[in-house]
Amino acid sequence: MAKILIIEDDAAIAAIERDYLAINGFETEIAGDGNSGLAKGCTNEYDLILLDLMLPELDGFEVCRKLREKTDVPILMVTARREDFDKIRGLGLGADDYIEKPFSPSVLVARVKANLAQYQRLTGGKAPQEITLGGVSVNIGTRRVYVDGKEIGLKNKEYELLLFLMLNADLVFDRETLYEKVWGMDAMGDNATVAVHIGRLREKIEKNPSEPRYIETVWGAGYRFRGR
């Protein structure tokens, strides 16, 4: 049974999340503020964290940043903010996905299941395998990434997106398809998540992110990892 930490100061919303997740077979625990949520999340006892952005004492952005120093489990932001800037900031700090308030409980459960499934699928392999294209190498067993022999740090979805593109080198994927393949469900009209992660990847693996050598934009079609 997957265990989920809900960091939410609105008791009514937290109860809705808890009840629907429990109905679907998840074990849950609630933290009502940022400090207690951070303390619980850092114990590594949870398989996924639902994180509200507007929290007392310590806001969700800071909680996300500090959690990412301690754990790599999926973090799903829950936000009432609709501005792309806030979503981009949260994703840049290491959140894997987000859902906007007000939300359908069934959509919330679907997002949770999708993120858990993707995480478990990509961390379930035991035998180390490696893929190398140009100066970029990924050890699938250890989830370590190297560029020109130097190890770089990637957030969960940055790693998963890079691995997917490298395993399908030279093929072009639009944003919707990448969201479905990497995040595990239909894009539902959301393009910001993929674009943010592409940008973050370029900053980390490209010598000149504005003129990428590896992750190319194919105008009007999508993205591809150049394998040759």
- CATH 1.10.10.10 domain span(s) along the chain: 130-225
Contacts of 203 (CB under 8 A, 6+ apart): 209
Q: How confident is the model at residue 213 (pLDDT cuts 50, 70, 90)?
A: very high
- Count the Cβ atoms, other than its own, within 10 Å of residue 219: 6
Residue pair 162/91 in contact (Cβ under 8 Å)? The answer is no
Beta strand 150-152 with 215-218 is: unpaired
Structure confidence by residue, pLDDT tens digits, 121-175: 766 544 447 889 999 999 887 889 999 999 999 988 899 999 999 988 888 999 8
Structure confidence by residue, pLDDT tens digits, 90-126: 888 888 888 888 888 888 888 898 888 878 776 654 4
């265990």: which residue's tokens?
Answer: 3
Q: In the CATH scheme, what architecture does the domain 130-225 have?
A: Orthogonal Bundle (1.10)
Please check the confidence at residue 177 and state whether its pLDDT lies above 90. Answer: no
- CATH 3.40.50.2300 domain span(s) along the chain: 3-123
Q: In the CATH scheme, what architecture does the domain 3-123 have?
A: 3-Layer(aba) Sandwich (3.40)
